[in-house]
Every structure is written in structure tokens, then in C-alpha cells.
Amino acid sequence: MKTVHVLLVCVVLFASNCTKITLLTRYKPAELKERRAGLYLKEFEKQKEIYNTAVQSITLHPDSVTNYLTLAKVFIKEAKVTGEHPYYYPAALATLDVALDKDEKNPEAMMLKTSVLLSLHQFAEAKSLAQSCLQVCGPNSQLYGMLCDANVELGNYTDAIQCVDMMMNIRPGLDAYSRASYLRELHGDVNGAIDAMQLATKAGLPGTEDAAWTRVTLGNIYCKQQRFHDAKVQYMLALQERNNYPFALAGLAQCIGKEGNPTLALSILDSALQTMPELSFLEKKAEIEFEQGNLLKVNEYVHQMDSMMEEDANAGHKNDAERALIYCKLNVNPKQALDFATKEIAYRPNNITAQFAMAFALYRNNNISESRTYLSKAMRLNKQDKDFMSLCSMINSSQNLSSTK
């Protein structure tokens, strides 16, 4: 019996080791793609050095978790800077899974994976992992930030506010101020949102992607309020601090389009798209063409966006709400829009964006009564959103028209 017991232990240990060996054998670091021309090539040279060193270190020291974390950070940064999300986020996840297989409670690996899950809109999964990480490493501003993001996207707005309060208590800075700004905007406090985002811009390090993103976000708030001069100032500052920053170009184009120059706006959006294959830039082009009545162009852009969104979805990105809203805004594929909105509302029933997508899709499918119900839910936070107000007006017009028949 003793011999049998020893034999069984050996078999279990062998099987366990085989699993780890197989995982490591299967793991092959994704290659680093060349960036598009003009996309911070000096910065990319440094990225290449870090990548090559990490890959060599993994070959020499395959059990060192640090090397996998370094490599994952390269992939995450490349995803943000290049917009090649379907390529780099799965690469980062594969790398982090190897790291967590070697050390399942490694706080940095858990936080990095949470960040990737949030980027892929896997919000419930991100929240669960962030909570697990919080138990391992205790109060942490970065973790509370990610919990805030997950709670916002899942519609747990009170919990999100509590997370921001924790961030402020631990370490006020760009991350905390920008999240506070977004929550204030969601609750209809536009002036408070601007104040908080101004603090975020002051806390950012000029020239970094985070600082440029913060300036663009402030510009976007101004643009929504039709404060076009103030918005363009922020976009231009972002472009000065980070040359050809594509999101600043897109923001500038949006302002110029709203000021009545669609031709120039489309040209600037083309420049942004040459730098980064970003869905929202193409969406802005489609919206401008829709307003001009150029439906052939709209359909062309919808086809391109469908391909991009399908690629994203295949890479693990939950984008059902985005797809539904694009179809609704451009008034195409109403039945598909409703299918996507229904999937999204099943995943996050309390989120106001999901509720608005459902309301809009129901409206496009002539279900006015249910559309009003979902829009009422979406407007419960008093967010000052022109799309919300526009849909409300369209619903009211439809009901008035029905009552006069």
C-alpha cells in the first residue's frame, strides 16, 4: 500500500509539472509590430529595447515573474498608443496568465490583468479580480480606481463614488481627479466635472499619454457644452505637449465640424486615422456624412466599422453597446441594433449607457413605449447628454403623432 501511495503522489506531481511545462511550452511572446509613421518612433525605440531584454530574460530565466510583467506592460502600452487592441490585449493576457500560473497572488500581475479586462469591457470579471487583489495587498489607490471604473460600467454608481473617495484619501492626483470628474458629469454636475478635470490636467506630466488624454477629455467636456474655443485650446495644448496626438486631432475635428466646416473636420479625422486605426475616429466621420445626407459614404464607413468591431469582439472585447449605438445613430440595421442592445442589457442591466442603447434600439424598431421606459432609467442620474435629450424629443414626437391619428 505504501508503494502504491508513493506512486500516486509521483503521478500527481508529474501531472502538475506537465501542466506547467505545457503552459510554458505553449507560451510564445507576441512579436512587436512596427508603429505607423510618425507615431512617437523615438519612444518606440525604447519600447523595443525593453521588449527584447524581457524576451531574452524569459528565455534565460523562465521562472522569473518579473520578466513576464515587464513584457505585459510593453503590450499594454502599445495597445494604448497604437490602437492595435485586438492584437496587443490578447498578447498581454497570455503573458499575464503565465505570470499568474507561477505566482497566483502576485499583486502587480493581478492589477495589470484587471486593467486589461477593463479595456476589453469585461467589467464583472475585472471587478472580481480587483476585489481579490485588494484582499492580497490592502488599500491601494490604483486598485480603487479600477474598482471605480468597473462599478461605473456595471451601474453601481454609489459604490463607484465610494471608491473615488478612497482614492482621494490615499493619494489625490490625475487618476482620482479624472474619475471624480466623470462621476460628476454622469450626475449632471458639468461645472464640477470641469473643475475636477482641470485639477487632473495640472497633475499630469506634460508629454505623457496620460496627460494628453486628460487634456483631450477636458476638451471633450467643453465641446459637449458648445464651448468650442475652450475645447480647442485644450486640444491644441495636448498637440503641443504630444505631437500629432490622434485623440486631440479627433477632438479638434469634432469642434470644427460642429462649427460648420465638415470638409476640414473630415480631413483632420483622416490625419488621425493615418496614425491610429481607432473606431471612434471612423464613427465621427460617419456622423458628419450622415448629417450631410451622404448615405453611400455612411454605409461604406459602417462596413469598415463592422469589420473592426468584429475583430475586437473576437479578441475578447465586449462591444455590444457600441455596436447598437452606432447602428442607431446612423439609422442602419435596426434589428441587429436591438440584438446587440439586448445582449448588453443582459450583461450590465443597471448601466445608463446600456439602458440608453436599449432605449434607442427599441425606438428604431418602433417600440416607443418600452423605449421611453429604458430612457427614463438612463436619465435617472440627470446626465446632461444631448443624445439623451434628442431621443427624448423623438419619442415625444412619435407619441404626439400617434395620438393625433
Q: pLDDT at position 404, please?
A: 53
> Which class in CATH covers the domain with range 323-405?
mainly alpha
Q: pLDDT at position 405, please?
A: 52
Q: pLDDT at position 26, please?
A: 74
3-state helix, strand, coil in the chain (%, to 5): 80, 0, 20
Q: pLDDT at position 2, please?
A: 43
Instruction: State phi, psi for 315 to the nearest 5 degrees.
Output: -90, 5
Q: pLDDT at position 7, please?
A: 43
Q: Could you state, in chain order, the average pLDDT of each consecutive group of 10 residues for the chain (405 residues)?
A: 43 44 68 89 93 96 96 97 95 97 96 98 98 93 97 98 97 96 97 98 92 97 96 97 94 96 97 94 97 96 97 97 98 97 98 98 97 97 95 87 55
**Which listed CATH number (3.30.565.10, 1.10.8.10, 1.25.40.10, 3.40.50.12280) goes with 172-299?**
1.25.40.10
State the residue for C-alpha cell 506547467: 20
CA distances from 48 to 53, 59, 244 (A): 8, 17, 21
CATH number of 53-160: 1.25.40.10
Cell of 250: 479627433
Residue ranges, CATH 1.25.40.10, the chain: 53-160, 172-299, 323-405
Q: pLDDT at position 18, please?
A: 46
Q: pLDDT at position 308, please?
A: 97
Cell of 122: 469585461
Q: pLDDT at position 41, please?
A: 85
Q: How far apart are CA 31 and CA 36, in angstroms?
A: 15
Dihedral of alpha carbons 308, 309, 310, 311, sign: positive
Q: How many CA atoms lie within 13 A of 212 on its CB side?
A: 20
Q: pLDDT at position 401, please?
A: 57
Q: What angle do CA 337, 118, 309 make, to 5 degrees?
A: 35
Q: pLDDT at position 398, please?
A: 82
